[in-house]
Copies of this chain bind each other. A is one copy, B any other.
Amino acid sequence: MPRAATTLDPFNAIAEPKRREVLDALAKASAAGNPEVPVNDLVNLLQWPQPQVSKHLAVLREVGIVAVRRRGRERLYSIDGEGLKSIHDWTAMFDRFWTHNLDRIKRHAEAAARAAASGPAPLPVHPLLNIPSPRSPRTPEH
């Protein structure tokens, strides 16, 4: 089974760096007062071939990150926040792994100081992980 399709979900859609550039451009235009941007404006902004822009927009639209509206022969694209919100929400579940970093680094420094007072310690693999942890049971909960 190969890699998941880029149109599977917003996570796969924004994995492509160029697609994030498209979203950045749309956000900038929105901040400048143009929440809806025709494809040609994006082509001029990004300086990419038009088919490339259209293809990336199609992927973003399929996963619900952008929305489209027709105006004459143009198609106006805009950001639909719901798609990105799902990613924001998922990553938010891990915020304690970076919010409490200062505390953890401080505790690590204290532990290192205590270890240095008694004897030379083996060099830590990662500062954030040098917290002595109780041996986990071989068969955890599930």
Contact of A3 among B14, B16, B76 (CB under 8 A): B16
Instruction: List residues of A (1-18) whose CB comes within 8 Å of B's CBs.
Output: 3-4, 6, 8-9, 11-12, 14-17
A103 at the interface (CB under 8 A from B): no
Contact residues on A (Cβ < 8 Å of other chain), bracket: 35 or more
CB distance B69 to A140 under 8 Å? Answer: no
Contact of A140 among B11, B29, B92, B133 (CB under 8 A): B29
Chain A window 78-102, contacts with chain B (Cβ cutoff 8 Å), 1 for yes, 0 for no: 1111101101101111111111010
Give the interface centre of A35, A68, A97, A99 by most chain B CB atoms within 10 Å: A97
A125 at the interface (CB under 8 A from B): yes
A32 at the interface (CB under 8 A from B): yes
For A14, the chain B residues whose CB sits under 8 A away are: 11
For A44, the chain B residues whose CB sits under 8 A away are: 139-140, 142
